[in-house]
Structure 1
Amino acid sequence: MKFFKIYVLALLVCSCSKKEPKVPKTYSLKSSKEITVLNDVVYFNKEKYSGFLFELYPNRDTISSEGFINGQLCGICKKWYPNKQLMESRVYFNGKKNGKQIAYWENGNKRFEFVAKNDAYEGELSEWTFDGKLTHLAHFKDGQEEGSQKLWYDNGKIRANYVIIKGKRYGLLGTKNCKNVSDSIFVVK
């Protein structure tokens, strides 16, 4: 009986897990004459391409590597700066952003990080300056702002600080008549 329960549990776990297709280990140069792109679908000799496309700098270092299945972006796609520093890492499924999306400045500091679901923001989004200061912290649900939203100037001063609850905004929205709201506040004595 114990074996039967374990078997059923294992069967449920395996049947419920979403199996994502693997990109075939076929590599082609993106600038190749056989490669064409039509409506965001990649073709190799007029057939939908499955494999990796890559680009190279003149010194033969890699600029980018992108995976495709049936002509659509799929899997982890990466780009690099000329100094070999990772520029961005994005995850795609069926041609849409799905999963963690991260970009970096040329010095290696994070530029932004967010999770996408079917090409829309989902959860927390963070953005930083070149020197690592947080400038934007937002929250999303189904691609729409929901919850706490904060923006800062490069000097660290708050630019906007508001909350969105059921589509309505509450709090410091940032500017009024092209002036920072905090600059137009005065004290009556």
Structure 2
Amino acid sequence: MLGKLVYIIFVFGVLYACDAIAPVGIIEASNPNLKLDNGILLYKKVPFTGHLQTYYVDKNLKSDIEYVEGKKEGYEKHWFKNGSISMERYYIKGLKSGIHKAWWNDTVLKFEYHFNEKGEYHGMVKEWYKTKQLYRDFNYLNGKEVGRQRLWKLNGTIKANYEVVHGERFGLIGLKKCYTVTTNSDEVK
């Protein structure tokens, strides 16, 4: 009998200690016990482990983000009101990793970013206008631009078109024109 009592006390002690170290479960983002402190999500002053969720008024899931020890770890997903996916991202120890995507609506892609395990852009980085027209087509290697980089205006004309070779840009980099405004005059030069 004494052995069984010791075992029960031990089990409850372990469960209580684990809960004090890292609460696990599903928490709604509006929970007043949540606090972001220096990039760490805390629940009741303890780094949060579990799923952070938000809901639409009709109680359908709006977002679900996985956390481990207060940092994003695993997937982050967001949905439109109709239930289709609006964004998906992946994290390792709080750093962006893998392929991140978002959509303007059910079918039109908004962006696709590729990251390495250090949270740096690595591979293609593309963005689109709502019209499905490509806005940005960049390439990265471990967080640094490499190769051909292009930007387009909404009307389809090229805004930037350059090549990055050994860290140097060659071509049209898309900088804005500089204007001189003189005081006491309406003239712009």
Once residues 170 and 148 of structure 1 are traced to their aligned partners in structure 2, the CA distance between those partners, rounded to angstroms, is: 9
Deviation at 1:108, TM superposition (A): 2.9
Q: Gaps spanning 5+ residues in structure 2: where? A: 1-22, 179-189
Q: How many residues align?
A: 156
Quote the residue 1:57 is aligned against. Answer: 56
Task: Write out the 4+ residue segments of structure 1 that deviate beyond 4 Å after TM superposition.
Answer: none
Structure 1: gaps spanning 5 or more residues = 1-23, 179-189
Cα deviations by residue, 1:106-151 (Å, 9 ceiling, x for unpaired): 3431101011122221111111111211111100122121111011
**Alpha-carbon separation, structure 2, partners of 1:59 and 1:108:** 23
Q: Does 1:138 align with 2:142?
A: no
Q: 1:53 to 1:177 in 2, by over 3 A?
A: closer
Percentage identity across paired residues of the two chains: 30
- Distance of 1:168 and 1:148 partners within structure 2: 12
Would you say the 8 A contact 1:85–1:108 is kept in 2?
Answer: no
TM-score norm. by structure 1 comes to 0.75
**Paired residue secondary structure (1:33):** coil
Give how far 1:89 is off: 0.5
What is aligned with 2:4?
none
Let me know the Cα RMSD of the aligned residues.
Answer: 2.1
Indicate the structure (1 or 2) with the bigger Cα radius of gyration. 2
Partner Cα separation in structure 1 for residue 173 and residue 39 of structure 2 = 37
How high is the TM-score relative to the length of structure 2? Answer: 0.75
State the alpha-carbon separation in 2 of the partners of residues 75 and 176 from structure 1: 39
Alpha-carbon spacing, 1:52–1:176, altered in 2? closer, same or farther (3 Å): closer
The answer for the alignment partner of 1:173 in structure 2 is 173
Question: Which residue of the partner structure matches residue 13 of structure 1?
Answer: none
Quote the residue 1:109 is aligned against. Answer: 108
